[in-house]
Amino acid sequence: MEERVRKALENVRPYLKADGGDVELIEVTKDGIVKVKLIGACSSCPMSQMTLRAGVERALIREVPGIRRVEAVN
């Protein structure tokens, strides 16, 4: 499942990079929780939680069966 998550993140990454940010995969838990670290401009952006939910989480849930949610870690 982790490899599929990595592939899905590659599809999202260009949108984040266009705004000076990026995302780093930290962990995929057995119960379908993906932990990521927002880096670059995304780490301090006031809209980062919206980006995480509406962009990253939605894309991962759509592309990788079994993913329940995405959490940002520091």
> Which 8-state DSSP code applies to residue 57?
I
CA-based radius of gyration for the chain:
11
Phi, psi of 9 (to 5 degrees): -65, -35
Confidence of residue 45 (pLDDT cuts 50, 70, 90): confident
The predicted pLDDT at position 43 comes to 86
Kindly state the average pLDDT of the residues 3-19. Answer: 94
The number of distinct structural domains making up the chain is 1
The predicted pLDDT at position 74 comes to 82
Kindly state the average pLDDT of the residues 29-55. Answer: 92
Q: Compute CA distances 12 → 19, 25, 57, whole Å.
A: 12, 12, 10
CB half-sphere exposure, 60, CA atoms < 13 A: 30
Q: Which domain holds residue 32?
A: 2-72
Kindly state the average pLDDT of the residues 22-33. Answer: 96
Domain harbouring 57, CATH code: 3.30.300.130
Entry pTM: 0.89
